[in-house]
Amino acid sequence: MLEKEYIEIPSGFLDKIVTNKGVAIGEINKRHKVLLMFLRRIGCMFCKETLKDIAEAYNSLIQFNTVPVVVHIETPTVFANFMKEFSNGDPILLNLISAYDEDFVLSKQFQIVSMSDLPVLGNLKNTFKMFKRGYEASKNGFHQNMLTSLSGPDPLRIPSLFIIENGKIVNECRQNFIGEKTDYIQVMIDPENFGEEIIPIGPITKEMFCDGVYCEMRPKAKQEEPKVEEVQIKNKSEQKYSCIPSPTAGLPEEEEAPIELKDVLNNKRRLRFFHVFAAKQHAAENVVFWQEVNGRFKKKEDDEERLRVAKNICEVFFDPESLMEINIKESSKNSVKSRLSEEGPVFDLFDGIIKEIEDHILIHLFALFTETIEFKDMVEKTKE
């Protein structure tokens, strides 16, 4: 797979861009990945929708040490007043980090384009798509004044977002037209990038965040164990899931290979898609834990290395202060810690917890996953 080429950010450039929190983007990026989102303008219905979407994705972004920063062209005072009214008291929206794109310095550096820069034929198609999306957004309660929306400098600028790590762009999403829907979790994890793993370096806690950057995450909905009949699991070894239609739909029978949870967990390419879905369900820590144990801990042959990884796993996933804490019995955590202390990093150290997560969390997530477009996309893109 060829590596993508991105715009090179000049050394020290991000250190000059100070956010509304008084911290430069460059300083934030020393500790965290930055999701840099360029808005069009505050009167735009799509930008209002974008802000709401970022707030909804905030938990998953923070779990992966990614801080969202929105870039606006309005003066800081105008933007702050807008956010105060628009947030409706939502603490995440109220505390969202933003950067003023004075004189379009950021837009020029990141080469943000306008619909007027695109070919005429492409513009006609995209204009139709824009109005269609506008209808969808208005149905969801996002409205705008067309006159104010199309006034001011560069009214046809197209929003874009970038994932920045260590001062470099590692992924981007440039929308094709104003209003194109963006999946922030998918851009962050990028299921098409099969060569990289999402592995936390250490315990992600609120104390590690730059001053003024961290905002309390939304409370998680309590994960209830599903009833057996809900996910139709009587015997896990016999249960199969498939999104491919039956032979009555006219497809050859050989294409009906059923896909089970184990087929996804043990396939690196498929696992990336499942990882994206889990993050959207605010349950990504369970998938990452499974990856850490089976993809890293069990592959270490050196005892000292395996001990280091085991301690890291306990810090990241067992610590109540960690944003990646997994929701399992406290007795299960204590049992692992005791074994680690008495027996060392034995190969089956985490097997009990892996079974607990597979039986009570991952299997339920997988049942939901099989009903989604993401599952169908995974099947299509990972065919042997």
The verdict on 88 and 153 lying in the same domain is yes
Cα–Cα–Cα angle for 229, 231, 234, rounded to 5 degrees: 60
Contact 25, 34 (CB under 8 A): yes
The verdict on 58 and 204 lying in the same domain is yes
The verdict on 264 and 202 lying in the same domain is no
The per-residue pLDDT for 205 is 66
With respect to residue 1, please indicate whether it lies within any of the assigned structural domains.
Answer: no
**The domain that contains 283 carries what CATH number?**
1.10.167.10
Contact 278, 284 (CB under 8 A): yes
With respect to residue 260, please indicate whether it lies within any of the assigned structural domains.
Answer: yes
The verdict on 42 and 191 lying in the same domain is yes
Tokens of 78: 């105008």
Cα Rg of the chain (Å, integer):
23
The verdict on 169 and 250 lying in the same domain is no
Q: Which of 254, 243, 259, 265 is nearest to 374 (CA)?
A: 243
Instruction: Single out the residue in 179, 208, 237 at which a domain terminates.
Output: 208
The per-residue pLDDT for 183 is 76
The verdict on 169 and 310 lying in the same domain is no
Tell me the DSSP string of 197-240: ----SS---GGGSPTTT--PPPPPPP-PPPPHHHHT-S-TTT--
The verdict on 259 and 359 lying in the same domain is yes
With respect to residue 70, please indicate whether it lies within any of the assigned structural domains.
Answer: yes
Tokens of 278: 């889990």
With respect to residue 359, please indicate whether it lies within any of the assigned structural domains.
Answer: yes
The verdict on 33 and 177 lying in the same domain is yes
The verdict on 233 and 349 lying in the same domain is yes
Domain that holds residue 377: 228-381
With respect to residue 116, please indicate whether it lies within any of the assigned structural domains.
Answer: yes
Helix axes 268-280, 45-63, angle to 10 degrees: 120
With respect to residue 189, please indicate whether it lies within any of the assigned structural domains.
Answer: yes
The verdict on 103 and 160 lying in the same domain is yes
pLDDT tens, residue order, the chain (384 aa): 345 788 899 999 999 999 999 999 999 998 888 999 998 878 787 788 889 888 888 888 888 888 999 999 899 999 999 999 988 888 889 889 999 999 999 999 999 887 556 554 456 666 667 667 665 767 776 666 554 555 556 566 778 889 999 999 988 888 776 667 777 777 777 766 544 454 454 556 666 666 666 666 666 544 444 343 343 333 333 344 433 334 444 444 455 568 999 999 999 889 989 998 998 888 989 999 999 999 889 999 899 999 999 999 999 899 888 888 999 999 999 999 999 999 999 999 999 999 999 999 999 999 999 999 889 989 998 886
The verdict on 126 and 239 lying in the same domain is no
How many structural domains are present in the chain? 2
The verdict on 51 and 140 lying in the same domain is yes
The per-residue pLDDT for 63 is 81
| pTM score, whole prediction | 0.71
